[in-house]
Every structure is written in structure tokens, then in C-alpha cells.
Amino acid sequence: MADTPNDLIRQAVLKAREGHPQEALEFLLSQTPPASSDLATLYHYTVGQLLLGEGRAREAFAHLDIAAFRDPSKVAISDARNVAQSSIEKEGGLATLNQASSPLEQLTNNPFYLPLEALLAVLAVAIAARCYRKGLTPAKKRQALVSAVVVWGLAATSVIAHYLGSRFSRGRTATTLVLRSGPSEDFLELQKVAAGTEVRVLESRGNWIRVRISPSVTGWVPPSNVLLFNPPSTRAEP
């Protein structure tokens, strides 16, 4: 019987405990599970921990940030992510890793945004229902109608903002990549992109994707070393 992804992760952990962390890391990086796998969180956390142990904080941050996004309730993941983040901050490089998202995208990435959007939807329904209650005076009915219009407007705005803020998939570079002017190695090299850099996937063409790394800088990279926050089955299509 073939090893399951869980068995593969367990084997890598055993290799690391036996004093072969580099071998364990190479083994895991060659066995990447699908982004939609239930074990993807454990995989990214394990890889991140091994990379931290090797002093590769930027690469570790990419994996740990993905793991923390997928399971924000795990304290161990958040702690490891914070260690990687602190290490990058000491080098003065954290700000350069987080320039891809627009203010609207940053807003919709906030974990409080979806609960707020749901609350507005519930309020909109409740206030609309109140307009049809029996016994309301004309003045109160007008007041309820105005409130309903306002809340429905806010709810509609939040839905539109959510769509606009999430239509481009968000990810981080797992390794240092070369940003090119077109979808091939034959195109001009624009710049090198450090491991851990946030990207927004704008489009794909063949075996290449066009990404945004800052408001004014876009280019093409292979997708194999870009880690997506959302699995392909649920992310917005570029």
C-alpha cells in the first residue's frame, strides 16, 4: 500500500529527529500535497518549522503564513509564524514582503470582514421584515423603511467590496523567484523576488502566471513555487 500524505509527513519528522533535518526538508518539498488536502496545514507547518531550524526565515514565513491562514486557532502555528516574522523584521525586510494587496484587498482579507458581512445581511433581512409588522404607525414604518434601505445599501456594498477584494488569488513565494516581462524564460528579467513575498495572481498562461508584487510592479513567474492561501477549488479565478 502506498504511503499516505500523513505517513510521509511522519517519516520526515522522524528523519529530522534522527539528526537529518536537511534530508527531511528535501523529502517533504518533493512530496507537496494538493492545496485542497486536509493535511496541507500540517504540511506547511512542518516545512516551516524545518526551514526555521535551518535559518531560512523568509521561506519559513511563506509556509507558516499559509498554515496560520488555514487554521488560525492553532497557537503553535501562530507562534512559529511570529518567530519567522520577528526574524525578518530584525533584518528590516518584512515591509517589502507585503506590498501586493490593495487597501480594498487588505480590508477583505481581515478575518473580521466575513462576520461583519454576515451580520449586515442578517440585519438587512430583520429590518426589512420589520417594515411589514402590523400595528406600525406611518411614521415608524417610514423610519423602518429608511433604516432598511441604509442597511441593505451597506450589505450590498460589502458584497461588492468582497468580490472586488478577492477576485485575484493571494499567495506567497516559497523561494526566491525571477520576475519576467512575459510567460517564458526568454523574456526580460525584471527583478528577483525574495522568498515569502506576497503576490496577487492576475492571470495564467500555459505554465506561467502573471503576479502583482506591489501596486506598480507586475510580472510573470512559474506557479510551482507560489503558495496559495486558498485551495484552487475555492479561490477566485484569475
pLDDT in tens, 220-238: 999 988 999 876 543 444 4
% the chain with pLDDT above 90: 43
Is the overall model pTM greater than 0.85, yes or no? Answer: no
Tell me what pLDDT residue 119 has.
Answer: 85
The predicted model gives 22-38 an average pLDDT of: 80
149 pLDDT higher than 80: yes
Tell me what pLDDT residue 90 has.
Answer: 87
Tell me what pLDDT residue 218 has.
Answer: 96
pLDDT band of 77, cuts 50, 70, 90: very high
String of DSSP letters for the chain: -PPPHHHHHHHHHHHHHTT-HHHHHHHHHTSPPPTTSTTHHHHHHHHHHHHHHTT-HHHHHHHHHHHHHH-TT-HHHHHHHHHHHHHHHHTT-HHHHS-SS-HHHHHHHSTTHHHHHHHHHHHHHHHHHHTT-TT--HHHHHHHHHHHHHHHHHHHHHHHHHHHHHSSEEEEESS-EEEESSSSTTSPEEEEE-TT-EEEEEEEETTEEEEEEETTEEEEE-GGGEEESS-TTTSPP-
The residue among 111, 107, 131, 33 whose CA lies nearest residue 68 is: 111
pLDDT band of 24, cuts 50, 70, 90: confident
Instruction: Please write the tens of the pLDDT for every residue from 82-137.
Output: 999 999 998 877 888 999 999 999 888 877 777 888 888 888 888 777 777 766 77
Distance (Å, rounded) from C-alpha 11 to C-alpha 86? 29
Greatest alpha-carbon pair distance for the chain in Å reads 78
**Bigger pLDDT: 164 or 210?**
210
Distance (Å, rounded) from C-alpha 58 to C-alpha 136? 61
Mean pLDDT score across all residues of the chain: 85
